[in-house]
Each structure stands twice: as C-alpha cells, then as structure tokens.
C-alpha cells in the first residue's frame, strides 16, 4: 500500500509543476491515445524519449516513479505472458500444447510492456506535479460544455477532488492498520487463500468505519461553511494560460508529427 502514489502530490518548482493543469490533463489523455499510433520500434523510441524528458523535467527522483510501477507489476507480467504464449501468428520458435512462442508474440509482448510503462509513467507525472484540487478545476473547465445538457459538472469535479485527496490517506491508514494487526500476531503472508482472506477482515472493518466517519465529518464541515456548487461560486485558484503552456502543446504536436512519420519510414 505504501507504494501507491495515485493522488500524491510532490511540491516542486519544475517546469512541469508550473504548467497549467488543463494542459497537463489534456496532454496526458492525448499521450495515451498517441501511444496506440506507434507500430514499430522507432515510434516507441520517440515515445520513450518524450516520456524520459517529461520524467526528468519534474525533478522528482526516479525511484518514486519505479515505486509507482510496483503495484501494477503483476498485471503487466500477466498481460505480457498472454501476448507471449497466445499469439499464433508469425514464425514459431517454441510450441508445447496450446502454448506457442512466435516472433510476433515476442514483439507484441515488448510493445505491450512499453505501453504499460509509458502510460503509468505519464499518469504519475500528472498526479505528482498537479495538486488534486487543481486537477479537479481542470476537469471542471473541460466539462463545462456539458452544462448545456444539465450534466452535474460541479458535483462530479468535487467528487474527483475528494477522491484524489483521500486516496493517499486511505492507503496510509491501511498500512497503519496492517502494522497494528501484525503487532497482535496476525500473519498476512502465509496460510491458505481462505486463511489469508479471513486475515483481511480485521483490516477492512476499521477502514470502512474510518472512511464513513471521515465522510460524515467532511459533509458536516461543508454544510457548516455553506458550500454550494454552481456557476456563481468564485474560485481562489484562477487558471491562466501562459507562454510555457503554448510551448508544451507545440512540443507535443511535434512529437505527434514525428510519430506519424515513423509509421511511413519503417
């Protein structure tokens, strides 16, 4: 749980930190779509260089990003195995029963691995360099056209801000509860699946109780302060588009053009 970095903001003064949250959110979503345009090794080299530059520009230790990969490492490995052993197309190197290892399977496994890593790293750049409230403001701004169809934009933005704010808190509380249970002799790492499942119950109950109590306290605090979401509500943080945001968009467009060009070069 301590490896979960979703919603954790690391204060800093890097160029990525100072970008408009709307730019970072739009570019992060666009990058995820852009990844699927790469269909050869040169395209993935371009994406890798772009991701590396973004990570280094945050001035945050690389160990933080590597720690963020650990919670999804088994999902990545499982997906790679599926691609590696269940891709019948291409030249067969090894075959045993329903499992076959082909050249296309190896290539697809490498591409899937890189896609996972790039997406996770860029998503981590977004969350580490953007405060949850600023991210919620950016999402609210992007969804404003939905107000014409009576979509609850302000309420959804508030829910996102609260969720991002309390995910790290929930993870920290989980670690504390597990350490307290270990001090009382509970073993989470051994025994059958049923025994391990039963050991989780003493963790879930205090977490649920604490989460419900926190939600009640937060609701009472918001009500006491007269909170009302809507168009007439003023904002303490005003989003402003600056020159560096334009430069970031232009750099991303250049990467897009180069990536499209690689599809025709190879």
Classify 36 as helix, strand or coil: coil
To the nearest whole percent, how much of the chain has pLDDT over 90?
A: 14
Query: What span, in angstroms and rounded, lies between the C-alpha atoms of 163 and 211?
Result: 11
Q: State whether 99 and 161 are in the same domain.
A: no
Q: State whether 4 and 114 are in the same domain.
A: yes
Q: State whether 105 and 152 are in the same domain.
A: no
CA–CA distance from 227 to each of 118, 207, 223, 234 (Å)? Answer: 39, 27, 6, 11
Q: Output the six-digit token pair for 42.
A: 């040169």
pLDDT band, very low/low/confident/very high, at 81 (cuts 50, 70, 90): confident
Q: State whether 229 and 247 are in the same domain.
A: no
Cβ 170 vs Cβ 10: under 8 Å: no
**CA R_g for the chain:** 23
Q: State whether 116 and 246 are in the same domain.
A: yes
Q: State whether 99 and 111 are in the same domain.
A: yes
Average pLDDT over residues 116-133: 87
Number of domains comprising the chain: 2
pLDDT, position 88? 67
More confident residue, 87 or 263: 263
Range of the domain at 259: 1-130+241-266
Least confident of 13-17, 102-106, 194-198: 194-198
List, for residues 85-119, the tens digit of each pLDDT value: 777 676 777 777 677 777 777 888 888 888 988 98
Per-chain mean pLDDT for the chain = 82
Q: State whether 1 and 120 are in the same domain.
A: yes
């Amino acid at each position: 749980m301590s490896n979960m970095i979703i919603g954790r903001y690391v204060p800093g003064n890097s160029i990525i930190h100072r970008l408009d949250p709307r730019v970072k959110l739009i570019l992060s979503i666009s990058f995820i779509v852009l990844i699927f345009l790469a269909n050869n090794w040169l395209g993935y080299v371009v994406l890798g260089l772009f991701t590396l530059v973004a990570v280094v520009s945050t001035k945050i230790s690389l160990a933080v990003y590597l720690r963020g990969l650990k919670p999804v490492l088994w999902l990545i490995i499982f997906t790679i195995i599926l691609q590696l052993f269940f891709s019948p197309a291409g030249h067969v190197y090894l075959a045993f029963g329903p499992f076959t290892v082909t050249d296309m399977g190896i290539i697809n496994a490498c591409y899937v691995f890189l896609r996972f890593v790039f997406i996770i790293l860029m998503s981590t750049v977004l969350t580490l360099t953007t405060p949850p409230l600023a991210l919620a403001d950016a999402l609210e701004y992007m969804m404003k056209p939905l107000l014409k169809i009576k979509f609850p934009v302000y309420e959804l933005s508030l829910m996102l801000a609260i969720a991002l704010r309390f995910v790290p808190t929930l993870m920290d509380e989980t670690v504390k509860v597990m350490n307290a249970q270990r001090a009382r002799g509970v073993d989470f790492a051994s025994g059958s699946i049923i025994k391990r499942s039963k050991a989780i119950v003493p963790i879930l109950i205090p977490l649920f109780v604490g989460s419900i109590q926190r939600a009640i306290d937060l609701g009472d605090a918001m009500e006491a302060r007269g909170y009302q979401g809507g168009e007439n509500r003023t904002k303490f943080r005003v989003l402003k588009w600056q020159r560096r945001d334009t430069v970031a968009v232009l750099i991303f467009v250049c990467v897009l053009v180069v990536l499209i060009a690689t599809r025709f070069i190879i």
